[in-house]
Structure 1
């Protein structure tokens, strides 16, 4: 047994560096690949014969899995590290399964499994990493954990672009990204070993978050619906304008790079702004990004602008929202995070199904307008209960990051 493993088994505290790296890598694999690898690979899958309506159903299956995975976290309240471990393993298996070019129905099942697994990882990594950072008085470093989502999206986007430029089928991309997810799972496994002591588990399992937190749940659901259309169909829309993968392929890496950089900036801003204010501001910028392609449907510049606006805010909103959940719920934070994730999953499930139910071009404008309205209304609701300019104050931990 390594010295590091022995230290973990003896209950020695994790370093901030190791916590950040593990959280970043875990979210990169679970979200950047398990959730979002489908987006940059969709144009290649279309070139291989997948219809847009089938793509919408595959996306919907992933979002349904994400929703049910979050609901399972509410019902079972799994130990954060166990949830992260199981989720990462399932992401790797389901991603590699897509590389086998399964029939459409089997693909629905695999994307469903990847969605459920990614919810387990997001809830598990968030609950574990935020608690460890809080115990180290380093909540300002949370941006490094959530930058993992953007990093994973950049990796997935560049891999898909490389596969497209090489003239290879989408299955090659699934093989590559499935291998990356498997490597991350293996590397993260020792750090995410559950602690031997589970004494805090019964109290955490019984904890209930306050009713006032339902505002957070509702706003997080609006956030899920608001960002999902461009987050699903942005590269496919770019491919309709410019068929060259050297051009449309850049939309997703730009989206992911904006997500990664923005979380680091968001961590700095949280020293000066409350999490609610940062969350609300992010959603206002996102609303503008959602509307850009609707106002200029034939402009590649509008798509790039949308990628920057949405990619640069959706993970800041995620980070700020989950930070606020920790502040509000205390011992019930994992359960509130799961409830917010379930609401998010519900919101994001509706968007692709609206597109899949009809013509994408005809449905884009009303859906985008509705998304923007919900984002603005959600921001207003958050600001009504905030104290602008007040930095976030994280309470001392009242539950174990087991």
Structure 2
């Protein structure tokens, strides 16, 4: 880290691009392509999405209970390889059952990569006093969404949806090579001691359940838009441009969001910023129902991209600061409750969409759930005033 801090950070960004931008979220823009060719119903699409999130839940739980402290890089590298294999295999089969299994496995390793890379990068940045760079690390999800979606229209035109998965697997191989060599775990015991000086005052650990409930509801609500927004654009008569533009907009919104939200948290308070960001996201989720137009879908995608990773960054960093000596475990538990909501959301939404033949009920329900989650955090605003919390993302 001392010699090549930028390369270390880029390695972490590339790991998130593989795990999240491709492994988890590439399914959203590829979904309507698969539905057109394989005649997926929205219910089946929801089950397939939920399979991935069930895997993400399992991976998050494992990351929280397994003794990973001494072998973080080993588990991370294995997970990156498995992520590539599952992405590649999605383009080599038409079996729905096999796809369910592949998406589940992809979810498991995505959680491992997210939890482990977050732990490695946040710990190392904290020990070296470079916490201001952490927001750039989490922008890897937005970069992954934006970068991978750029390939999808051309790959689909040339090789169909199968070629999209294979092409994205090849892109992931290149990213993984750099992440493999540039992302290293800190083993300097002196720097570990210094970390205690860098850590900042945070809410008491007993407040963690409120954060976990809110974060679980966030996972339940946000994922409805995260799964179906491209399909909504594809199946809406007034959306006359390429539906992949919607997902590119999500990526563009996500890239700077972590830095912006963490800066706002430094000035306004950590919990207060979480409440505001979740409220804004709820408005964005409901926007296509309130205002039916091409503009509203683009704006909804922008608000979604601008909030979902910012919320994750703030919640994850706050949880880590509340338990700095065991960051991978507490991040794993927080990610598990988030993944539980994600697993349930697409299934409920898919059934609602198929039953009502409309996306409106699913979107209103999702927006309401996120708003309720924000309400659970309101009681924690007093800690912003009491402790003058500063996010670990901004030194």
1:103 to 2:119 alignment: no
CA-to-aligned-CA distance 1:277-334 (integer Å, 9 cap, x gap)? 22222111100011112224x4222211210111110010011111101111121222
The answer for the alignment partner of 1:9 in structure 2 is none
How many angstroms apart in 2 are the aligned matches of 1:54 and 1:306? 24
Where do 1:60-139 residues align within 5 Å?
60-79=50-69, 80-139=72-131
Q: Are 1:84 and 1:121, in contact at CA under 8 Å, matched by a contact in 2?
A: yes
Corresponding residue number in structure 1 for 2:142:
150
The 5-angstrom pairing of residues 1-400 of structure 1 reads 13=2, 15-52=4-41, 53-79=43-69, 80-164=72-156, 166=157, 168-192=159-183, 210-242=205-237, 246-296=241-291, 298-360=292-354, 362=356, 364-386=359-381, 387-388=383-384, 390-392=388-390, 394=392
**CA offsets 1:30-60 (integer angstroms, 9 cap, x no match):** 0000000111111111121241332222111
Cα displacement string for residues 210-233 of structure 1 (whole angstroms, at most 9, x for unaligned residues): 443122211111110121111101
Question: What is the DSSP-based 3-state SS (H/G/I as helix, E as strand, rest coil) of the residue aligned with 1:378?
Answer: helix
Partner of 1:6 in structure 2?
Answer: none
CA contact (8 A) 1:275 1:323 kept: no
Aligned partners of 2:350 and 2:286: how far apart in 1?
A: 19
- Contact residue 142 and residue 267 of structure 1 kept, 8 A: no
Between 155-164 and 364-373, the greater mean CA deviation after superposition: 364-373
Q: For 1:243 and 1:382, how far apart are their aligned partners in 2?
A: 37
Contact map agreement 1:259 1:312 (CA 8 A) in 2 = yes
- Shifted more, 318-327 versus 236-245: the winner is 236-245
Give the distance between the partners of 1:284 and 1:358, measured in 2 at CA: 23
Q: 1:377 to 1:243 in 2, by over 3 A?
A: closer
Counterpart-to-counterpart distance in 1, 2:236 and 2:46: 19
Note if contact 1:283-1:313 (Cα within 8 Å) is conserved in structure 2.
Answer: yes
Please report the RMSD computed on the Cα atoms of aligned residues, expressed in angstroms: 2.6
Kept in 1: contact 2:12–2:183 (CA 8 A): no
Q: Displacement, 1:371?
A: 2.6
Deviation of 1:137 after TM superposition, in Å, equals: 1.7
| Structure 2: stretches of 5+ with no match in the other structure | 193-203
Matched-pair contact (CA < 8 Å) for 1:140–1:268: no
Q: Deviation at 1:258?
A: 0.3
Q: Which structure carries more helix by proportion? A: 2
Measure the CA separation in 2 of the matches of 1:139 and 1:371: 33
Indicate the SS of the match to 1:385: helix
What is the aligned residue count?
Answer: 374
Q: 1:124/1:309 Cα in 2 relative to 1: closer, same or farther (>3 Å)?
A: same
1:195 is displaced (CA, Å) by: 6.5
What is the aligned partner in structure 2 of residue 4 from structure 1? none
1:175, CA displacement in angstroms? 1.0
The DSSP-based 3-state class of the residue aligned with 1:30 is helix
Query: Is the 8 Å Cα contact of residues 29 and 247 (structure 2) preserved in structure 1?
Result: yes
Distance in 1 between the 2:185 and 2:44 partners? 39
Residue 206 (structure 1) aligns with = none
Change (3 A) 1:148 1:124: same
C-alpha distance in structure 2 between counterparts of 1:307 and 1:333, whole Å:
31
Normalized against structure 2, the TM-score is what?
A: 0.87
